[in-house]
Amino acid sequence: MVNGKQLTSRDSAAWFTRRQEISLLKVSYFGTKDVMTMDSVVTDQRDLKAAGILLSIISSSGCCLPIYHLSRHRGQLGLPHDLKLSTFIRRYPNIFIESYILDSGGSCVPCFSLSPEALKLHEEEVNILQQNQLEFRDRLCKLLMLTRDRILPLQTIDQLKWDLGLPYDYHHSFVPNHPERFSFVHLPDDRVGLKLLYWDDMLAVSELQKNASVQQKEEDIRTGSLAFPIRFTRGFGLKRKCMEWLKEWQKLPYTSPYSDASQLDPRTDISEKRIVGVFHELLHLTVHKQTERKNVSNLRKGLALPQKFTKVFERHPGIFYISRKSNTQTVVLREAYNGKELMQKHPLVMIREQLSFMLKKGLLDRSRGLYKKNAVADLVEDVRKEVCSDGKSNQCKSGDGSDSSMFSEYDSDGHLSSM
């Protein structure tokens, strides 16, 4: 069935041909300037996310953490595999302060703490999270309300916590504060999941429905055929038949992403509009109105969606933009941006923009030589002097301080938990 009508074999073939034509829509249809603008929206997100997570980890410890401790969290940072964690951290000496301790074997271990400026910024972030705790609670509730069983594995939520604005340790510091809404459960595959305990009808209203009175025509509101905001930029070339299909598709009934859609035939355009609606709502739940495509793919089972459901991103480039920067694919909600600027910025986004500015400044100042190149040697020499003054000179390596062999093994991002 398509649009509620039974398909003949001939109609079915024509329908799939039309789907294939729509699938041919590529980013190349957009002007070069538009592509560069949308790519710039996500260019700095990788380093920003990694630095933000490291800030949370170090601040929660209340002290200086050795590199091998930070390396245990590397999988959550999203950094390239060939980039050492210590190398990344040392790019930003205005945020991460490096020092050294001696391990039980007498080797110098790099440790990192936060600069006063970074600590102050993190405190501001914590205050924003506390002031808006109910809002972030509702974001998490709505995410679980999108799922079929109102349950998601913590592993899946972990991949979205940065995008949703949740605290790094949300399962310890955030979820227990709302026992009337959430509960930890054991899943059949032995993983731990988060279950929604209370369905709030007030929250079961999508962003598209909220803005209907402003964005939609009265007739469409009356018939329930809500249309998605679409932004085609100058230079966009869409075949006439595809444009006609898009206009027809926009007039189809809109199914709320919070309603039961099990009765919809997955082969229909109505079903596809519902899938688009799910991801339109999901991206609105994120503070930056974007997320990596792999995070969406991991939601397929929880959202009870068909295989290859993420193809809707390519078929609807006026709604979604896919950036392939930073060796990953990031889905961006077009309507949320005016050029490369978010049209509505959450206070948490403003804090992250300040952190992004600090990252750029630290990297630039370091490249200008404003930070001593021999700072590492000086720190190692201080450790040597302190140890030697305690009568433990047999543990100190001789040399001019530029010898990095004392702590070279700790520069690796390998598993050093046994040390």
Q: Average the pLDDT over 156-168 and give the result.
A: 95
Are 104 and 17 contained in the same domain? Answer: no
Do the domain assignments include residue 217?
Answer: yes
Are 216 and 315 contained in the same domain? Answer: yes
Q: Number of structural domains, the chain?
A: 3
What is the per-residue pLDDT for 238?
62
Do the domain assignments include residue 226?
Answer: yes
Q: Average the pLDDT over 268-274 and give the result.
A: 93
Are 98 and 218 contained in the same domain? Answer: no
Q: Average the pLDDT over 295-311 and give the result.
A: 88
Are 257 and 288 contained in the same domain? Answer: yes
Do the domain assignments include residue 349?
Answer: no
Do the domain assignments include residue 104?
Answer: yes
Do the domain assignments include residue 344?
Answer: no
d(CA 367, CA 91): 9
Do the domain assignments include residue 351?
Answer: no
Are 334 and 219 contained in the same domain? Answer: yes
Q: Is the pLDDT of residue 350 over 80?
A: yes
Are 301 and 221 contained in the same domain? Answer: yes
Alpha helix positions (H), 211-319: 212-215, 218-223, 240-250, 269-285, 293-297, 300-303, 312-315
Are 210 and 327 contained in the same domain? Answer: yes
In this prediction, residue 290 has a pLDDT band, given cuts at 50, 70 and 90, of very high
Phi, psi of 345 (to 5 degrees): -100, 125
Are 180 and 263 contained in the same domain? Answer: no
Q: Is the pLDDT of residue 23 over 60?
A: no
Are 133 and 26 contained in the same domain? Answer: no
Q: Specify the range with the lowest mean pLDDT, choosing from 104-113, 114-123, 287-296.
A: 104-113
More confident residue, 186 or 232: 186
Of 298, 311, 201, residue with least CA distance to 256: 201
Q: Which domain holds residue 290?
A: 9-40+206-338
Do the domain assignments include residue 133?
Answer: yes
Whether residue 246 contacts residue 172, with contact meaning beta carbons closer than 8 Å, is answered with no
Mean pLDDT across the chain: 82
Domain boundary among 167, 200, 233: 200
Q: 3-class secondary structure for 71-113?
A: HCCHHHCCCCCCCCHHHHHHCCCCCEEEEEEECCCCCEEEEEE
What is the per-residue pLDDT for 234?
57
Of 154-163, 225-234, 362-371, highest mean pLDDT: 154-163
What is the per-residue pLDDT for 309?
86
Are 385 and 319 contained in the same domain? Answer: no
Domain boundary among 312, 338, 364: 338
Whether residue 4 contacts residue 268, with contact meaning beta carbons closer than 8 Å, is answered with yes
Do the domain assignments include residue 1?
Answer: no
Are 99 and 25 contained in the same domain? Answer: no
Beta strands in 281-386 (DSSP E): 290-292, 320-323, 330-333, 337-338, 341-342
Are 92 and 168 contained in the same domain? Answer: no
Phi, psi of 91 (to 5 degrees): -65, -25
Domain boundary among 200, 221, 256: 200
Q: What pLDDT digit, counting tens, does each position of 206-264 carry? A: 999 998 887 877 887 888 889 999 886 655 556 677 778 888 999 999 999 999 988 88
